[in-house]
């Protein structure tokens, strides 16, 4: 299948679904986001591991986006999402996505998605879609002056730790620079990111891929200054995630992910990020709050 239909299957197949096989071979990236259609506005998916035996939050959020997008007219583009991670998701059971149609406006459409596992909501998301419109009013932040992706050979840390983990094989992340303790007290990291295989032209697939990519590195920005502070291991638990999609882009082409963390306190850390094309165009922004737990 290609295009929009490639990410939704009809019917109610058995247990041999995406998540069970994703760790056994290198899948297509679109396989990570493919959902089964169970009924009108009801979908089912599976997720691979993030933390041990916990579903990867970026994949849960991206699948929720797919579910929402499949209930919206194709001429509307997702421009924002706001999600809350309520409970850890498991990798050994399917996740059901329930879509509520909150608004059908002339220009904007709004959906709410609840991701349910074992009868409990593990993730809740609101997403807004807009019919594309041209505007003469525009401004944007300039891209940081950093070396391009072709000048970087160092892959981002976790990609080196687990290079044989199949989902990681689908991504190419190149660390440009990072600073744990700059003068203004705000840790930063700059990473070139992309899905390392061609994607279809479906705009929804590209915004979902960017949400997936953002969750791989964003919260680690807040953790960087504190890795060696105090005894024990420092773990991250995603609490919420927000994305804004400003302009069209392709997630299978290089994007600079410029990240910083304004604050950590009360066991919570806030991270921000902006995505730029190689031409310097700001195409998306992200924010995430994560719990920093020391064991």
Reply yes or no on whether 288 is catalytic: yes
3-state secondary structure of 197: coil
Phi-psi region of 267 (alpha: psi -120 to 50; beta: other; left: phi over 0): left
Reply yes or no on whether 215 is catalytic: yes
How far apart are the C-alpha atoms of 290 and 223, rounded to whole Å? 9
**Which of the residues 202, 215, 252, 260 is marked catalytic?**
215
How far apart are the C-alpha atoms of 142 and 139, rounded to whole Å? 9
**Which of the residues 128, 189, 285, 288 is marked catalytic?**
288
How far apart are the C-alpha atoms of 54 and 91, rounded to whole Å? 6
- Helical spans, DSSP H, in 151-202: 157-161, 166-169
Q: What secondary structure letter does DSSP report for 155?
A: B
**Which of the residues 152, 238, 261, 285 is marked catalytic?**
238
Reply yes or no on whether 154 is catalytic: no
CA 192 to each of CA 36, 82, 155, 172: distance values in angstroms, whole numbers, following the listed order: 32, 24, 9, 8
- What are 291's two structure tokens? 């719990």
**Residues designated as active site:** 215, 238, 288
């Amino acid at each position: 299948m290609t295009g929009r239909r490639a990410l939704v299957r009809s019917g109610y197949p058995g247990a041999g679904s995406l998540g069970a096989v994703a760790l056994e071979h290198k899948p297509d990236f679109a396989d990570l986001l493919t959902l089964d259609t169970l009924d009108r506005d009801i979908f089912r998916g599976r997720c691979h591991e993030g933390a041990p035996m916990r579903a990867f939050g970026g994949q849960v959020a991206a699948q929720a986006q797919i579910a929402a997008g499949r209930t919206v007219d194709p001429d509307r583009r997702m421009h924002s999402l706001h999600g809350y991670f309520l409970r850890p998701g498991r990798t050994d059971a399917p996740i059901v996505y329930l879509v509520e149609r909150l608004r059908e406006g002339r220009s904007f459409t709004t959906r709410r998605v609840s991701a349910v596992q074992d009868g409990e909501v593990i993730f809740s998301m609101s997403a807004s879609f807009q019919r594309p419109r041209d505007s003469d009013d525009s401004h944007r932040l300039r891209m940081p002056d950093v070396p391009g992706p072709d000048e970087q050979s160092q892959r981002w840390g976790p990609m080196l730790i687990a290079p044989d983990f199949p989902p990681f094989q689908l991504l190419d992340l190149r660390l440009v620079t990072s600073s744990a303790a700059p003068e203004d007290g705000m840790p930063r990291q700059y990473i070139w990111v992309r899905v390392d295989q061609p994607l279809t032209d479906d705009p929804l697939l590209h915004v979902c891929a960017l949400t997936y990519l953002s969750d791989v590195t964003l919260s680690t920005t807040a953790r960087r200054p504190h890795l060696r502070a105090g005894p024990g291991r420092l773990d991250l638990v995603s609490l919420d995630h927000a994305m804004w999609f400003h302009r069209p882009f392709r997630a299978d082409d290089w994007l600079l992910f410029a990240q910083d963390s304004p604050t950590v306190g009360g066991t919570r850390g806030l991270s921000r990020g902006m995505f730029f094309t190689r031409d310097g165009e700001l195409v998306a922004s992200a924010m995430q709050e994560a719990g920093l737990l020391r064991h």
